Structure 1
Amino acid sequence: MERRGFIKRMGVGSAFLSAAGALSFPGFAEEIKRAIPFNMDFAPHFGMFRNHAPGGIVEELKFMADQGFRSLEDNGMLKRSVAEQELIGKTLQDLGMRMGVFVIDGGDNWKVSLATGKQEFLDTFLATCRTSVEVAKRVGAKWMTVVPGYFERNLPLGVQTGNVIEALKRGAEILEPHGLTMVLEPLSDNPDLFLRHADQTYMICKAVDSPACKILYDIYHMQRNEGNLIATMDKTWSEIAYIQIGDNPGRKEPGTGEINFSNVFKWIHEKGFTGVMGMEHGNAGPGKEGELALIEAYRKVDVK
């Protein structure tokens, strides 16, 4: 059997390599220090592999890289210290990984609503965009998640939409010169949220008309809100810059719910998408066994 094919089929978890005694295979150890990288650029988040890498963020990043993951996303990056951000950025660079999204979060970014048109919310959003530029430099990020906040029931929908567009134009003016992109995420968590559908987000991105304002298409949220995933992505594809993953129901790894991720990922791959695909979900199983099962679930649905 050709050895790289054997390694790939085995999933090449670190636990497997240790148990197999990689160093006992002459001329073999260097090749199998890491699993073969995933073809799709799946991005775990911190805490997802805490049982295999209990030593902290550097050890967890090393474990991710060893398993074949090529990117990271970290929603709470803005809340980390400068030293911790710099450490993450350096470690990613050393491991040959790239940074996915972090959240442009001005406190409770659902309640800081750009739909209201209130100056205080706009000021908070723009200040956080400026801070995010500096954070992005430290960690090598290109994309930042933006949620416009709550629906404002005292205003007509068209006025709310106009307020959001104007705020995002101002944000784009800050981010675009640095080659950064805010990705707008329609969500299913709460019916009071303003942004809930892909076509609505598409319209806003077209109106902002900037490479710094695109769509974050979260498969879990969109399955809950509107379904028809492939057809909807096809209609809004020109504005999609980032994708996130989570099966439904349950918001866990692929294979735990109703979504046919093999077909969805095949379609995304055939569209030529080479961006980051964030693993925005929890682990279905506990402990090390659950972590290994999660890795194996992604091996099963990765494009060949």
Structure 2
Amino acid sequence: MKRSDFLKNSSLLVGASLFSNGLSAKEQAVQGMEDQAANQPFRLNYAPHQGMFSASAGKNFLDEIQYMYDLGFRGIEDNGMPSRSVEEQKKVGELLAKLGMVMGVFVVPKGGNGANTLAAGKEEHVDIFLKGCKESVEIAKRCNAKHVTVVPGDYARNLPIGVQTANVVEGLRRGAEIFEPHGITMVLEPLSDTPDLFLRFTDQTYEICKAVNSPSCKILYDVYHQQKNEGNLIPLMDMCWSEIGYIQVGDNPGRKEPTTGEINYKNLFKWLYNKGYKGIVGMEHGMSQRGKEGEQALVKAYREVDSF
């Protein structure tokens, strides 16, 4: 074969391989840039939890954390961290440190529930809460956590609301004394699950945090719950901003990923970014689809609302 014919044929082969997928050179360049951007860190620190990517990464939590990192996430949440073995807690902490990821909240063991409410002012209830706080310090050390979730429990309806509030404040002050030396913040979460819960509104939680008066007692503002309880999201967040220490999200109705409900998350995330929020945005919600397709839809939704 003549050298000129060889070069001509080689050029044709290269051209065929470049455009065999039907894309022009310009289209391929754009696609390459999009693929690269898809794995870059998000503008806010959205934090998934175990199970969100198990169809792609498998059921091993450490593998899933690595997969989350590869997708661009830089934080995780794990409400059930206290139920994991000491060894697993340490492994999670070590992997997060290696990857430069942040550990979000876990729930303080028996930190307040219907049967154990701080509003009642009973010493046995407070003792259970304080025991959970002490356990949480050790767990937090293993997994490098700086925030823990506390729900004070149900109303004690036999007592005036002012007395209940004072009881909650007193119990939380004692909890804060445990967390302060370790730089750990308990974040109080007002919920919408049932009207029996004592803590339900942002301004109510703000008042309690002001009364506790500790850097270790702040608000966990869950957008899903507060959209259900009170709405008026950004104005209320702005009024109570000094006491908000942690954000969680979920769309409403349905408590699925952003873009599946009525909340304008792109606008809300832009507001958080401009506010200078550097903390975790916990992905405290389910998913609208199952399997790998659902996981891809989840990432696509967060890329969309993060593109403000």
Relative to its length, the structure with more helix (as a share) is 2
| Uncovered stretches (5+) of structure 1, i.e. residues with no partner | 14-34
Quick one: which of 212, 216, 219 aligns to 2:220? 216
Other structure's SS at 2:126 match: helix
Distance change in 2, residues 1:2/1:183 (3 Å):
farther
1:137 is the counterpart of 2:141: yes
Quick one: which of 273, 278, 281 aligns to 1:274? 278
1:192 is the counterpart of 2:196: yes
Match of 1:53?
A: 57
- TM-score (structure 1 length as normaliser): 0.89
Contact 2:112 2:152 (C-alpha < 8 Å) held by counterparts = no
Distance change in 2, residues 1:143/1:200 (3 Å):
same
- Structure 1 residue 7, shift from structure 2 partner: 5.1
Distance change in 2, residues 1:204/1:92 (3 Å):
same
Other structure's SS at 1:249 match: coil
Contact 1:11 1:299 (C-alpha < 8 Å) held by counterparts = no
> What is the distance in 1 between the residues matched to 2:59 and 2:133?
32
Contact 1:114 1:148 (C-alpha < 8 Å) held by counterparts = yes
Contact 1:165 1:208 (C-alpha < 8 Å) held by counterparts = yes
Contact 2:119 2:164 (C-alpha < 8 Å) held by counterparts = yes
> What is the distance in 2 between the residues matched to 1:287 and 1:62?
18
- Structure 1 residue 105, shift from structure 2 partner: 2.4
Match of 1:20?
A: none
**Cα deviation code 1:115-146 (max 9, x no counterpart):** 01111110000011001001100000000000
Q: RMSD of the alignment, in Å?
A: 1.8
- Structure 1 residue 94, shift from structure 2 partner: 1.5
- Structure 1 residue 5, shift from structure 2 partner: 7.3
Contact 2:185 2:215 (C-alpha < 8 Å) held by counterparts = yes
Match of 1:29?
A: none
- Structure 1 residue 112, shift from structure 2 partner: 1.5
- Structure 1 residue 9, shift from structure 2 partner: 3.3
Match of 2:211?
A: 207
Distance change in 2, residues 1:283/1:52 (3 Å):
same
**Cα deviation code 1:138-174 (max 9, x no counterpart):** 0000000000001111111000000000000000000
Match of 1:244?
A: 248
- TM-score (structure 2 length as normaliser): 0.88
Other structure's SS at 2:55 match: coil
Contact 2:149 2:187 (C-alpha < 8 Å) held by counterparts = yes
> What is the distance in 2 between the residues matched to 1:5 and 1:124?
57
Quick one: which of 284, 292, 295 aligns to 2:296? 292
1:169 is the counterpart of 2:170: no
- Structure 1 residue 107, shift from structure 2 partner: 7.5
- Structure 1 residue 252, shift from structure 2 partner: 0.3
Distance change in 2, residues 1:161/1:8 (3 Å):
farther
Q: Structure 1: which amino acid aligns with 2:34?
A: R
Q: Structure 1: which amino acid aligns with 2:275?
A: K
Distance change in 2, residues 1:7/1:180 (3 Å):
farther
Q: Structure 2: which amino acid aligns with 1:52?
A: S
Distance change in 2, residues 1:122/1:281 (3 Å):
same
Match of 1:91?
A: 95
> What is the distance in 2 between the residues matched to 1:187 and 1:36?
33
Counterpart mapping for 1:17-28 below 5 A = none
- Pick the structure with greater CA Rg: 2
Contact 1:73 1:100 (C-alpha < 8 Å) held by counterparts = yes
Contact 2:112 2:150 (C-alpha < 8 Å) held by counterparts = no
| Uncovered stretches (5+) of structure 2, i.e. residues with no partner | 1-25
Q: Stretches of 4+ moved more than 6 A in 1?
A: 1-5
Q: Structure 2: which amino acid aligns with 1:94?
A: K
Other structure's SS at 2:148 match: strand
**Cα deviation code 1:9-34 (max 9, x no counterpart):** 34877xxxxxxxxxxxxxxxxxxxxx
Other structure's SS at 2:128 match: helix
Match of 2:14?
A: none
Quick one: which of 128, 136, 145 aligns to 1:124? 128
Distance change in 2, residues 1:8/1:154 (3 Å):
farther
Quick one: which of 87, 103, 106 aligns to 2:107? 103
> What is the distance in 2 between the residues matched to 1:2 and 1:214?
49
- Structure 1 residue 2, shift from structure 2 partner: 11
